[in-house]
């Protein structure tokens, strides 16, 4: 990885820190509103997918088939959109799994950073390993959400993002 790519990765981490911190703070202060907002946004996205499927059904070229996958896809998406819109708390259990999954993918992608720092034989390798392990633990905690607390979930997300910025900073400063 080049110095420019490391710099870009660092700034993406900073932007993620800001966005996820706002989300985490909002989740801590107004958990019900946050869940309802996420559910409504997902309902609107699913509604758009539904409309896309129905429109594809009606503009298809081969109209000899009475049933087309697009209409089934569109109708199922419409049902999901309605359920999400009118029952936002169904999504409450999915949020930690989705966020934790995102966090795990992010940390797995950062394994290359640690290899690069070790290869450069700098003193920051131990700090990088510690930060990596902490991020891994936090990812697992978000997925498991053992206390089922949105406030703790919000704090965990913020702490994870701070560790992510630290890891990216250490990598950026150790790249040749």
The pLDDT tens digits for 25-40 are: 888 888 888 888 888 9
Higher-scoring residue by pLDDT: 125, 81: 81
More confident residue, 141 or 70: 141
Q: How far apart are CA 173 and CA 64, in angstroms?
A: 63
Residue 7: the pLDDT is: 81
Reported as a pLDDT band with limits 50, 70 and 90, residue 173 is confident
Tell me: pLDDT of 17 over 70: yes
Question: Where is pLDDT greater, at 66 or 85?
Answer: 85
Q: Where are the beta strands (DSSP E) in the chain?
A: none
What was the pLDDT predicted at 122? 65
User: Looking up tokens 């059904």, which residue turns up?
Assistant: 57
What is the residue-wise DSSP string for 13-57?
HHHHHHHHHHHHHHHHH-HHHHHHHHHHHHHHHHHHHHHHHHHHH
Which backbone phi and psi does 63 adopt, to 5 degrees?
-95, 15
Where do the structural domains in the chain lie, given as residue ranges? 3-174
pLDDT value of position 127: 84
Residue 79 has a pLDDT of 92
Handedness of CA 109, 99, 173, 6 (dihedral sign): positive
Query: Model confidence over 82-139: pLDDT tens digits?
Result: 988 898 888 877 888 888 888 888 888 888 777 777 777 667 778 888 888 999 998 8
> Alpha-carbon distance 48 to 44, whole Å?
6
Question: Which pLDDT belongs to residue 112?
Answer: 78
CA distances from 53 to 70, 105, 147 (A): 5, 30, 39
- pLDDT above 70 covers what percent of the chain? 93
**pTM of the full predicted structure?**
0.71
Compute the distance between CA of residue 130 and CA of residue 173 in angstroms, rounded to an integer.
17
Distance of CA 129 to the CA centre of its chain: 22
Q: Give the phi and the psi of residue 126 in degrees, each rounded to 5.
A: -60, -40
What's the token pair of residue 146? 């053992």
pLDDT-derived band of residue 1, with 50, 70 and 90 as boundaries?
Answer: low
């Amino acid at each position: 990885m080049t110095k420019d790519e490391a710099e870009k990765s660092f700034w993406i981490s900073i932007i993620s820190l800001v966005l996820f911190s706002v989300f985490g703070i909002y989740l801590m202060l107004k958990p019900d509103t946050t869940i309802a907002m996420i559910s409504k946004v997902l309902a609107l996205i699913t509604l758009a997918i539904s409309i896309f499927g129905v429109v594809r059904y009606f503009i298809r070229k081969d109209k000899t088939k009475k049933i087309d996958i697009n209409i089934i896809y569109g109708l199922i998406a419409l049902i999901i959109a309605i359920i999400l819109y009118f029952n936002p708390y169904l999504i409450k259990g999915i949020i930690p799994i989705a966020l934790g999954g995102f966090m795990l993918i992010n940390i797995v992608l950062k394994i290359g950073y640690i290899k690069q720092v070790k290869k450069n034989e700098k003193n920051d390798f131990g700090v990088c390993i510690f930060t990596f392990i902490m991020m891994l633990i936090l990812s697992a905690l978000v997925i498991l959400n053992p206390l089922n607390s949105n406030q703790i979930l919000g704090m965990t997300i913020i702490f994870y993002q701070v560790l992510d910025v630290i890891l990216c900073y250490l990598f950026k400063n150790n790249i040749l």
